[in-house]
Structure 1
Amino acid sequence: MNSINRRQFIQLLGGGSVLASSIGLVACSKQPSASARVVIVGGGFGGATCAKYLQRFDPDLDITLVEPKQKFVTCPFSNLVLGGMREMNSISHSYDAHTKRGIKVLHTSAREIDPAGKKVHLANGKTLEYDRLVVSPGIDFRWEDVEGMSSDDVEKLPHAWNGGPQTVTLRNQLTAMPDGGTVIIAPPANPFRCPPGPYERASMVANYLKQNKPRSKVLILDAKTKFSKQPLFMQGWEQLYGDMIEWVSGDAGGRISRVDIAGKTLYNELGEAHAGSVVNLIPPQKAGKIAHDAGLVDSSGWCPVDQRTFASTQHPDIHVIGDASLAGAMPKSGFAANSQGKVCAAAIVSALHNTTMPEPSYVNTCYSLVGPDYGISVAAVYRYAEDQGIYKVDGSGGVSPADADAEFRQKEARYTRGWYASITSDTWG
């Protein structure tokens, strides 16, 4: 990996098969799986990928995927919906391919997990027994950290940090706001899902405003003092939008302590008020609710795991992947969850067949659009070491060059769209 150049590396990642081919696992191993039962809770980038690759590695497994949504709406590219560049159906993905593979897909929720009895109780009244359980629950929100706001207020101040109806609500608020209004985006402190996401959102909103409401502004009130790909974003903002986007860091008044829902006003730690025509407060985050209910989290609110196999350190027969897990140096991203799903599948099949698990390799790439024809990216390869968990391989990947010309940015914008088509096909196709 380290011998190829960065552009070749990103193109390989876009193909979605780097990790699968590096695992090289086949079903014909020392011991038969005897139709072992594997249940996966959550059908996002982590869970859907894990189900697919479990079936690929061992077609004899009895695999059940539990996911309430008939179609999964991705957070990646939801910012393009907000900016008017995509429709919701283009970021919605069905489970038809999983069903055709013989994976049982149940569109209901997991109500309770019984680790001792190895059972999952479902909202539809059914109970599933398992030999191995994979929990990929995504995120929930720390409403208690936001004074004046609760989950009941999301229609008025949609966070839209789960792709779906709130994406449409926020888009409608943007189209309805008057020219000259201010859109406030308030990202949370780390860790949270998709570190570059709020800043791509600001970019896509600014692109829409520039074309339709050019007297408007985007104000980012950030809980952090720095953010992912910051120099590249800021360079693009200045080039494409002039002074339309303003970023305020956490130590300069960007950290929000209180919300006035009715007045669409955010108050920072200094007591200063910021009112907006549209307010997009993204709350602090934690692992999805079912992980808390099952006792899979620690004091951080996230799920500690054996970072080689993603087996829970609380309940070893349960694996936790995706945003909910504490995965060392890996970010909480869709591509990371997809990569973890493949490693987890390999770990489970290896354990069921009593074979040695291949040494895992994890990858992540994250594209962001600053404008329709202006893309930037970050990519890395990760390895596992017993003494440090998952770590980033020195010299792997990297970020887009700061001195790139317009043609390079256009190519990365095309790669962005290709990446999305590839990763969603690898996950749900």
Structure 2
Amino acid sequence: MTNWTRRQICSMAGGVLAAAAAPHVARSQNKPRVVVIGGGIGGATVARYLGDLKTMDVTLIEPKRRYVTCFFSNLYLAGLRSLPSLTFDFEALTERHDVKVIHQAATVIDAGTKTVTLRDSVMLAYDRLVVAPGIAFKSGEIRNYDASAAEIMPHAWNAGPQSELLRRQLESMEDGGVFVIVAPPNPFRCPPAPYERASLVAYYFKQFKPRSKILILDAKDRFSGQELFQEAWGRHYPGMIEWLPRQFTGAVKIVDVAARSVVTEGETFKAAVANIIPAQKAGAIAEKTGLTDTSGWCPVDPVTFESTLQRGIHVVGDSIIGGDMPKSAFSTNSQAKACAFAIAASLTGSPQFPSHLFNSCYTFLAPDDAFTNAITFAPEGGKIKMVETFISKVGESAEVRRRTAHQAVGWYSAFTADVFGEGS
């Protein structure tokens, strides 16, 4: 399963799922209207595949003009990718896939009148709404960590300016300093990513700051891919990375921004650079609209991804309660396609295809060393259940790991082209 080509990935992820809606309440006389809020992986995918059907008016609401992928952003921190190589615009969705893109924020969703109000007070009417709000951070979980603290102790969990800030800090850090990563409790976006970050920053340190150390203060006692990571750390970066689970520390309670220190139940850790990744929940507009339950995440129908709390509104991506599906980019893309098929069937009478839910992920341990997983899922008993899984094994040869790292580059290119409509 690790020998996928770009064509195979696009084919597996693909579908055959339509034109721009006017930015006022004026209603189309001919086509159903679908409004999509959020231009990340989930929102862009839904809009692209519905737009391709050409049987619906599709409008994508996204305030940013460019999207920077969180996946592969750890390579940027290590100096192995440029930020422009991870940045995408929405022009192909407009020019090739009949999607109208409005670069504004949605401020109010009225499920009763089926309207979305934008920041400039313009209202959009919809027949179906898709919300792809991504994540927000829980406040108060770590005392003193807020938006201003994040400008000194960056999270870099939304790629872009935060990534640039963290990279500048790592570059200016003196050799021999300690880089502290605070890893969040489950569930959170991209479970292997904090540990991939530690691996790739260790690679950077090994080249340029070989006396430096990395300390991971974890809110968990286990983490995704743990055996693979720890085996690789011993092989590539002996003595450089230390992982402290919750059972040893009691998890991080307080940060002292001025002192650049992190305080657990029993100890204070001084950092040259601190990367604080907070506990997470669904994006703000989901909570504001009543799409979240007491967990802070959005319950959905596992076949259609329609909210179980607000009918007529679909939710995809990191914000949902996804059962066995991890919060990852490829999971989001897969959910978005299933959602698009379900909306098309509901509004236009097109065939209702069974859900085919997948996750595919590549994780770097070093520039020429990566592992992968490929997992299939299916709706079962109102939840999403894992059906079949493949994951790289500890002890694979250097050639296998090198080949996997090479495949990851092709996977990224094919996947992002599919999402943002740049592929065929």
The TM-score, its normalising length taken from structure 2, stands at: 0.94
C-alpha separation in 2, matches of 1:144 and 1:260: 14
| Aligned-residue offset at 1:254 | 5.9
Alignment partner, residue 204 of structure 1: 200
Alignment deviations for residues 406-426 of structure 1 (CA, whole Å, 9 cap, x no partner): 100000101111111111111
Residues 387-406 of structure 1: pairs in structure 2 closer than 5 A: 387-393=381-387, 396-406=388-398
Within the alignment, does 1:237 sit opposite 2:233 as a pair?
yes
| Aligned-residue offset at 1:143 | 1.8
Alignment deviations for residues 324-357 of structure 1 (CA, whole Å, 9 cap, x no partner): 1112110000000011110000000001124552
Within the alignment, does 1:54 sit opposite 2:50 as a pair?
yes
Alignment deviations for residues 278-337 of structure 1 (CA, whole Å, 9 cap, x no partner): 000100000000001111100000001111100001111000000011121100000000
Partner of 2:148, secondary structure, is helix
C-alpha separation in 1, matches of 2:60 and 2:291: 19
Alignment deviations for residues 355-405 of structure 1 (CA, whole Å, 9 cap, x no partner): 5522101000111110000011122000112x1521000xx2321121211
Partner of 1:169, secondary structure, is helix
1:16 alignment partner, one of 1, 5, 10:
10
2:83 alignment partner, one of 74, 85, 88:
88
Alignment partner, residue 256 of structure 2: 260
Residues 338-377 of structure 1: pairs in structure 2 closer than 5 A: 338-354=333-349, 357-377=352-372
| Aligned-residue offset at 1:124 | 2.4
Alignment partner, residue 308 of structure 2: 313
Amino acid at match of 2:386: K
Alignment deviations for residues 191-240 of structure 1 (CA, whole Å, 9 cap, x no partner): 00000010110011101010000000010001011111110111111111
| Aligned-residue offset at 1:13 | 8.9
Alignment deviations for residues 220-276 of structure 1 (CA, whole Å, 9 cap, x no partner): 00101111111011111111111101111111116111111111111112x210110
Residues 24-423 of structure 1: pairs in structure 2 closer than 5 A: 34-56=30-52, 58-100=53-95, 101-253=97-249, 255-269=251-265, 271-354=266-349, 357-385=352-380, 387-393=381-387, 396-423=388-415
**More relative contact order, 1 or 2 (CA 8 Å, 6+ apart):** 1
Alignment deviations for residues 110-163 of structure 1 (CA, whole Å, 9 cap, x no partner): 111111111111112211110000000000000221112112221111100001
Amino acid at match of 1:263: A
Q: Is the 8 A contact 1:138 1:287 kept in 2?
A: yes
Alignment partner, residue 29 of structure 1: none
C-alpha separation in 1, matches of 2:141 and 2:243: 22
C-alpha separation in 1, matches of 2:5 and 2:216: 32
Q: Give the unaligned 5+ runs of structure 2.
A: 19-28
Q: Give the unaligned 5+ runs of structure 1.
A: 1-5, 27-32
| Aligned-residue offset at 1:60 | 2.3
C-alpha separation in 1, matches of 2:100 and 2:399: 46
Aligned length: 410
Check 1:13–1:226 CA distance in 2 against 1; reply closer, same or farther (3 A cut).
farther
The TM-score, its normalising length taken from structure 1, stands at: 0.93
Give the % identical residues.
44
Q: Is the 8 A contact 1:38 1:130 kept in 2?
A: yes
C-alpha separation in 2, matches of 1:212 and 1:244: 13
Q: Is the 8 A contact 2:69 2:87 kept in 1?
A: yes
Alignment partner, residue 30 of structure 1: none
C-alpha separation in 2, matches of 1:12 and 1:80: 20
Alignment deviations for residues 160-206 of structure 1 (CA, whole Å, 9 cap, x no partner): 00011000000000000100000000110000000001011001110
C-alpha separation in 2, matches of 1:191 and 1:88: 27
Check 1:50–1:95 CA distance in 2 against 1; reply closer, same or farther (3 A cut).
same
Alignment partner, residue 419 of structure 2: 427
Amino acid at match of 1:277: A
Q: Is the 8 A contact 1:221 1:254 kept in 2?
A: no
Structural RMSD (CA): 1.6
C-alpha separation in 2, matches of 1:217 and 1:161: 21
C-alpha separation in 2, matches of 1:212 and 1:13: 38
| Aligned-residue offset at 1:17 | 2.5
C-alpha separation in 2, matches of 1:342 and 1:34: 24
C-alpha separation in 2, matches of 1:186 and 1:254: 12
Partner of 1:331, secondary structure, is coil
C-alpha separation in 2, matches of 1:140 and 1:74: 16
